[in-house]
Structure 1
């Protein structure tokens, strides 16, 4: 089976599981997301060479997730912590040296970038006080469309490398083309199928198209620092779950901020 077929089957299987969890309600969706969080934590721990310390963050994942659900007023702490870490991670992209990240920095990456960022993503689904299946389904669809368009356009037309020292397969053509096509398809979805607010959809689509690829670059930098091609092997054609969720994790705080305060 060629790589594209493997990638397609894995993606469709993953999408089906996500759709089913959304359809069954918030508790099922939350349980699946927490399971995904544990797997991604394990894969990130391997990339950061701290597998024996990752148990600390396993212990924190569920309490912090429920803490934000029960006490939503602490959202500002989660947002501020995550966004400050994003600044650090973007600076790390431009650090030409494949240097070592300190142990404290690694723990802070797991806590603020992954756990808090992922928790904020989960809580987008209940941001208005009820489980909004439509908004979380729309976000997942747009993320997947954006990934698909970037992959296809980049392979077909990509000539100008986006960040060759970190991710040699990413191109400006793929990024720009996926931004435009994702926006068009998101508007079509909004107008003819999901009947959602068009302005909100345009903001969500634009945010995903701009922030999502940065999440992929951040993970690629971790992989280069660890001298590994993939974060895992659970998803044939993609690698690990972190390889599939890297953009989603980074998007969590930004989409939460967008939908909550704008």
Structure 2
């Protein structure tokens, strides 16, 4: 418990610093974090005797995130995103030269890492530039982070005290509908508090963002649990003592970030 608490404290400090210290730190931190998470995913699926294309997967992830950063932070032409095309189709070509029994399993898991890890992190990163593509604004990324933490806290507290009805026992036996409702309540409350400080959108929009984060963050958690159960592992990694791996900590972001970005984009534009 002590190790878990210490890790949580430093994790919180680092995450807040990554958002508050400006666009350059935000860009570099999430580029490295997303690639480390992708590496963790590829190591995880190797337990199922899958052999993803590591180099091409990393290159595709780097070009995806890097091309987005070049466009939004450095104001460069989005043509850099085209570099992802040879990396993606190179996976098929590279597999032709392998002598593997299940080639399309390797190809599929290579792409799954990009879809499940790199794309969500890219959408989360894009929240920092959603108001102005050339100017970094920490309000939306910070609010997302606070609401996600509030969701986890509310779900834990309400679930522990009131939880009786299982939410999705097959994939996550401890989650309950009562905990889910508590997560919605606490996250919406944080969203309304945020609305007093960040004026880009009104309180109803922030509250709607909170509801989406809880709903799709919970789904992301369940999807990551389903992945671990299919591979018969407890944690996605060991990088965070007492908490498991990066995917264990960011599972709520995996599906919620693209949904929230789409929601805010439609509201703002």
Structure 2 length as normaliser, TM-score?
0.79
Give structure 2 stretches of 5+ with no counterpart. 82-103
Check whether the contact 1:18–1:29 (CA below 8 A) recurs between aligned residues.
no
- Give the structure 1 partner of residue 190 of structure 2: 185
Deviation at 1:159, TM superposition (A): 1.6
Matched, 1:123 2:104: no
- Identify which of 176, 182, 195 aligns with 2:181: 176
Question: Once superposed, what is the RMSD of the aligned Cα atoms?
Answer: 2.2
Deviation at 1:165, TM superposition (A): 1.3
Change (3 A) 1:37 1:11: same
SS of residue paired to 2:160: helix
Matched, 1:255 2:260: yes
Give structure 1 stretches of 5+ with no counterpart. 78-100
Aligned pair count reads 233
Which has the bigger relative contact order, CA under 8 A and spacing at least 6? 1
- Give the structure 1 partner of residue 10 of structure 2: 13
| Distance in 1 separating the partners of 2:159 and 2:205 | 27
Deviates more, 1:212-221 or 1:110-119: 110-119
Change (3 A) 1:125 1:152: same
Deviation at 1:146, TM superposition (A): 0.8
- Give the structure 1 partner of residue 99 of structure 2: none
- Give the structure 2 partner of residue 215 of structure 1: 220
- Give the structure 1 partner of residue 209 of structure 2: 204
Structure 1 length as normaliser, TM-score?
0.81
Change (3 A) 1:110 1:248: same
Check whether the contact 2:157–2:182 (CA below 8 A) recurs between aligned residues.
no
- In our comparison, the structure showing a higher alpha carbon Rg is 2
After superposition, give the CA deviation of every residue in 1:110-140 in whole Å (9 maximum; x if it has no partner): 1222212211111111112221111211111
- Identify which of 149, 158, 182 aligns with 1:153: 158
- Give the structure 2 partner of residue 38 of structure 1: 35
Check whether the contact 2:35–2:118 (CA below 8 A) recurs between aligned residues.
no
| Distance in 2 separating the partners of 1:52 and 1:227 | 19
- Identify which of 90, 108, 112 aligns with 1:109: 112
Matched, 1:231 2:246: no
